[in-house]
Amino acid sequence: MTQPRHLLSITDLGAEGIQDVMRLTDSFVEVSERAIPKVPALRGKTVVSLFFEDSTRTRLSFETAAKRLSADTMNFSVSTSSVKKGESLRDTVETIEAMGVDAMVVRHSGAGVPWQVAAWSRGSSVINAGDGWHEHPTQALLDCYTIRQQRQSLEGLRIAIVGDIRHSRVARSDVLAFSALGASVTLVAPPTLLPPSLAGWPAEVSHDLDEVAPKCDVVYLLRLQRERMQEALLPSLREYTATYGLTRARARLLKDDALIMHPGPVNRGVEIAAEVADRPNSVITRQVANGVAVRMAVLFLLIGSGVDLAVH
C-alpha cells in the first residue's frame, strides 16, 4: 500500500485505495470493540481541526479517531469572517504548520479550500472534511464501509441517492466512491435540486422515487436544509416529503433487505418517517460508529509511521 500525503477527493484514492482503507478499517473496528479501545499508533503526532464552518459531529468523530490512535488533538475553529482574505488563510495555515502539526483536518464553506491548504503546507497532511458543495471523502468512505459490512461488496448493487443533490458534498463523493466500487447509482431529486450539469457524475437520474424504490439495494437519503424553502427551490416541506420522503407507505415498496442510510442529522418526518429510521435495516447509527474507525484508518494511512499496521 503506498502512503498518500493528503486526502482531498475520493478520486485521489481510486477503487484500489478505497479498498485499502476498507481493509485498514476492519482492524480499527476491532480496536474499537476492545475494553480499552486505544492503540499507540500515532503517539506524539498532532492532529489539528481547522473548521471554518461549524460541524460538531464531524469534528468529534475525527477527534475521537485521533485520540484512539493516541495522537494529540487541537482545535482551531474560526468564523469565516476573520480569515476571509486569501493572505490570512495562508498565514493561518503556515503558522499552524510551523508549530509542528502532522495533520490538518479542514472544513470550509468554499469549494477547493483544502487543495489551497495542501498547496501551502510544507510537510503536513491535509484531510478534506467537507468543502462547500464539493466533496466530503471520509463520509463517502464510511458509507462504502457500512454497505460493505452488510453486503460484503458494492459490486453490482443498485443505490439510490435521494434529495438535495445540488447542494450536497456527500452526494458527489458518494457517487464517485460507489461507482468506483462497481455499484450503479440513481440520483432521485426534483429538477430544482439537481446540479446545473451532471457531466462527470457516473449516475442516472430519476424524478420518481416510487419507481426507483423497489429496485434498490440501498436508499441513501440526504439531509434537507430548511433554507431551500426560502430560496423557493421547493414549494413546501410537506410536498417534499410526499414526493421524496421515505414515508411508511413508501418504505413498503422497498426490498426486504434494502439498507436505509442518511449522513445525519436526520430531520425525522421530513426525509424519513421516524418509525422507518428506527427499523433494523436502517444503518444510520452504524454509519456514525464506522465513521470513527474509517477516520482512524485515514489518519493512520496518511501520518502513521509505516505500512504495517502495528495495532495488534
Minimum CB separation of residue 96 from a second copy in Å reads 7
Minimum CB separation of residue 95 from a second copy in Å reads 5
Nearer to a second copy, 7 or 47 (CB): 47
Nearer to a second copy, 145 or 201 (CB): 145
Query: Footprint of a second copy on this chain (CB under 8 A)?
Result: 32, 34-38, 43-44, 46, 48, 56-57, 60-61, 63-64, 67, 72, 74, 76, 78, 87-88, 91-92, 94-96, 98-100, 264-269, 274, 285-286, 288-289, 291-292, 305
Nearer to a second copy, 46 or 128 (CB): 46
Nearer to a second copy, 1 or 74 (CB): 74
Nearer to a second copy, 41 or 113 (CB): 41
Minimum CB separation of residue 63 from a second copy in Å reads 6
Strand order in the sheet with 72-77: 72-77, 46-51, 103-108, 125-131
Minimum CB separation of residue 271 from a second copy in Å reads 12
Minimum CB separation of residue 91 from a second copy in Å reads 5
Minimum CB separation of residue 184 from a second copy in Å reads 29
Residues 6 or more apart whose Cβ sits within 8 Å of residue 275? 248
Minimum CB separation of residue 87 from a second copy in Å reads 5
Q: How far apart are CA 99 and CA 224, in angstroms?
A: 39
AA letter at 106:
V
Nearer to a second copy, 36 or 232 (CB): 36
Residue 210's φ and ψ, nearest 5 degrees, are: -60, -30
Strands 158-162 and 184-188: parallel
Q: How far apart are CA 5 and CA 308, in angstroms?
A: 17
Assess contact for 162 and 209: CB atoms under 8 A: yes
Nearer to a second copy, 8 or 96 (CB): 96
Residue 39's φ and ψ, nearest 5 degrees, are: -130, 155
Find cell 479498498 and name the residue: 19
